[in-house]
Amino acid sequence: MGKHFVVTFPDIGEGVHEGEIIEWLKKEGDTLCQDEPVVVVMTDKATVELPAPQPGRLAKQHYQPGQMALKDSPLYEIELAEGQDDNPETITPPAVPQDAGLNLAANLNKPSSSPLKSAQKEKPKDGAAMAIPQVRRLASELGIDLDKIHGSGKDGRVVLEDLHSKEKGVRGSSPVLSLPDDEVIQVIGIKKLMAQKMAESKARIPHFSYFESADATRLIQLKQHVKHEAKEEGLHLTYMPFIIRALSFCIKTYPLLNSSYDDETSKLHIHKHHNIGIAMSTPLGLIVPVLKGLESMSMGQLVHAYEELIDRARTSKLLSSDMKDATITISNFGIAGHGRWATPIINFPEVAILAVAKIHQQPVVKEGNIVIGNLINLSWSFDHRVIDGDLAMHISDTFCKLLQNPAQLL
């Protein structure tokens, strides 16, 4: 029997001391080539495949998917071939670059650069389909056999688009199968991280909510007026840049909106920069990319920055730096449906969050007459330690006036 190398969890950087095991790409007993991906791990900064530092056989896995591995703790062991090395030692895989990418949906579809790239790009010898862990998990949830799909990605790799095409075909031609009762699903990855963050926020922040509607008539007219100019610049103008701009204006009037409360030291930190997080849903869970430095942007710069950020999110090209340093968050739940109100959870350690509904029409009274109005519903949640009811009322009233007279936002 050959000697064992003990591979430890690497130093990711940026103060990260642990990571979650997402998926083992190799099982115990499998042969490993040097630089071949062995395990997928996720921290709150990035999701990466860790390669084997030495060739050999995977002798032992020290963690199961869903468990947390501590920095420098044993991750797995490699049994070396006879005579390969007579001195057992501990090896740490190469440290992961700080902006290695979030890999939220398909980032791992791309061949990665050394030292994280795999030395084996061809289809596995056993004929199994090539796909990243996220694709494999989604295929399992949908009941799709990856080996029966011709992948459209590089070297025949199965990508998310292949699953979506297959799912449409299955829905149209196959009967719906009933699932057994009491299905147990292990929550891992981004969804697990989101669950932990939301539980922490709800437990540590004393929330209260405030609701108000704004007349969106002039906002609709202004967007219609400037959309042609935006289109000429290659931009798809939505209402979100106006909403983001109005929130930044509100922060200038009420700086407490842009603060965080340290409950251990009882100190309130008021942030200079307006870094607004945009909550959005992905197939893998909730993410909050951040628009930074809005206090110094013009409306045109904001629209460009917003479009670029959303495009990176849609194409799974977000970097870890895109997900950090938010000082307040907006949730545009109007994109997903026709709900009117929400009670959003504040993103700890922020002190407020705004949830925006879809613009809708309903009867309103104007000058004693009943007319059809265009309303946008606003659902705020505030940290009651920092913002009381009276301040919340003034914040929301100021925000509504900005939306109702949006020319000042340009």
Pseudo-torsion of CA 41, 42, 45, 48, nearest 10°? 40
Spatial separation of the C-alpha atoms in residues 69 and 12, rounded to whole Å: 12
Among 60, 80, 100, which residue terminates a domain? 80
Q: What is the CATH number of the domain that holds 51?
A: 2.40.50.100
pTM of the model: 0.62
Please give the sequence-ordered ranges of beta strands (E in DSSP) within 216-359, or none if there are none.
259-262, 267-270, 276-282, 285-287, 290-291, 328-331, 352-356
Task: Provide the CB-side half-sphere exposure for 179 (13 A, CA).
Answer: 8
Indicate whether 340 belongs to any domain. yes
Alpha carbons within 13 A on the beta-carbon side of 102: 26
Residue 18 maps to a domain: yes
Provide the domain count of the chain. 2
Sign, Cα dihedral of 55, 57, 61, 65: positive
CATH number of domain containing 280: 3.30.559.10
pLDDT value, residue 140: 77
Query: Of 31, 57, 80, which residue is a domain's last?
Result: 80
**In-domain check, residue 107:** no
100-145 confidence digits (pLDDT tens):
444 433 333 333 333 333 333 344 444 556 776 667 777 777 778 8
Question: In order along the chain (410 residues), what is the average pLDDT of each group of 10 residues?
Answer: 85 70 92 91 78 92 90 92 59 50 39 37 51 72 80 73 69 53 83 88 96 98 91 88 98 98 94 96 82 96 94 85 95 85 96 97 94 97 98 98 96
Given the residues 388, 390, 394, 397, the one annotated as active site: 388
User: Does residue 343 lie in a domain region?
Assistant: yes
Same domain for 217 and 357?
yes
Q: Which of 25, 59, 80 is the last residue of a domain?
A: 80
Phi, psi of 389 (to 5 degrees): -60, -40
Active site residue 150: no
179 within domain boundaries: no
Its domain, for residue 34, covers 3-80
Give catalytic status of residue 263 as yes or no: no
Looking from the CA of 132 toward its CB, the CA atoms found within 13 Å total 24
Residue 110 pLDDT = 38
3-state secondary structure (DSSP) of residue 160: helix
76, 215: one domain? no
- In this structure, what DSSP letter does residue 131 have? B
Identify residue 252 by its one-letter amino acid code: K
The answer to whether position 112 is within a domain reads: no
Contacts of 299 (CB under 8 A, 6+ apart): 241, 245, 409, 410
Q: Considering the domain boundaries, does residue 72 fall inside one?
A: yes
Catalytic-role residue among 383, 384, 390, 397: 384
Asked if the structure places residue 87 within a domain, the reply is no
Q: Single out the residue of 16, 173, 34, 24 nearest to residue 100, CA to CA.
A: 16
